[in-house]
């Protein structure tokens, strides 16, 4: 089994915006038949099966530059290849570009499967989330809650479904299961120490504001 860190590297209004997904292969699956340990396949699968559903929610000023994937040994939790694989994307969102900057975002919450220390590592995660943004002004009400008409609700439901489900490739055949990870600081470096499978993903009713995404002034 291998664990993958997949980073969606986006940019909006000169600000870097990163969303990080994690996946694993099935127990006993041999990654030697994949390209660079499966990093090429998982990045391409995320582009096809996740970005496709994220793109309609992103403003036209947002640009997904590339998708970068790292592969870890599931036993030692060390990188198998020191250099990651990067798949170029270069595509913009398709929603009207009317935002209050890069910081407003929507929160997708992950419900995780039960875990054990013996199979999932020490201190497996109990929850997880993604901050998707920037959000178009029309998605957020004046009180900060998400505005969800039928069309918007369908878009969010499709993205949540994509994030909670496997991504896969046909040639070569490979299936990657979505997970969230727990990390600890070891010798000054954050290292994956455990994981939990994702059971479901839902949109939080209240929007959020990521100060880390505000441009420096």
Q: Give the pLDDT of residue 212.
A: 81
Residue 15: its H or E element: strand 15-24
Q: Give the pLDDT of residue 129.
A: 96
Q: Give the pLDDT of residue 186.
A: 74
Q: How far apart are CA 37 and CA 18, in angstroms?
A: 23
- Global model pTM greater than 0.85: yes
Q: Give the pLDDT of residue 120.
A: 75
Predicted confidence (pLDDT) per residue in 111-146, tens digit? 999 887 666 777 788 899 999 999 998 899 999 999
Domain segments of the chain: what residues?
Answer: 2-213
Answer yes or no: is pLDDT of 39 > 70.
Answer: yes
Answer yes or no: is pLDDT of 29 > 60.
Answer: yes
Answer yes or no: is pLDDT of 217 > 60.
Answer: no
Q: How far apart are CA 81 and CA 73, in angstroms?
A: 10
Q: Distance of CA 215 to CAs 23, 103, 117, 159, 209, Å?
A: 30, 9, 41, 27, 13
Least confident of 144-148, 155-159, 188-192: 188-192
115 alpha carbon, distance to own chain's centre:
21
Are 179 and 22 in contact by the 8 Å Cβ rule? The answer is yes
């Amino acid at each position: 089994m291998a664990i993958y860190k997949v980073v969606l590297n986006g940019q909006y209004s000169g600000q870097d915006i990163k969303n990080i997904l994690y996946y694993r292969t099935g127990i006993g699956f041999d990654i030697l038949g994949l390209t660079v340990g499966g990093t090429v396949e998982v990045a391409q699968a995320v582009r096809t099966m996740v970005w496709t559903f994220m793109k309609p929610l992103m403003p036209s000023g947002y640009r997904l530059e590339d998708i970068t994937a790292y592969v870890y040994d599931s036993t030692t939790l060390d990188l198998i290849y020191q250099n990651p694989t990067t798949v170029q994307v270069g595509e913009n969102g398709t929603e009207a570009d009317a935002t209050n900057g890069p910081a407003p975002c929507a929160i997708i919450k992950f419900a995780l499967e039960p875990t054990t220390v013996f199979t999932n590592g020490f201190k497996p995660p109990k929850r997880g989330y993604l901050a998707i943004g920037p959000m178009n002004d029309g998605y957020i009400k004046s009180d900060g809650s998400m505005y969800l008409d039928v069309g918007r609700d369908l878009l969010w439901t499709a993205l949540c479904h994509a994030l909670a489900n496997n991504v896969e490739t046909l040639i070569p055949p490979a299936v990657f299961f979505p997970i969230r990870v727990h990390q600890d600081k070891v010798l000054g470096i954050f290292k994956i120490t455990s994981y939990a499978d994702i059971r479901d993903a839902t949109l939080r009713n209240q929007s959020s504001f990521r100060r880390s995404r505000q441009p420096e002034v």
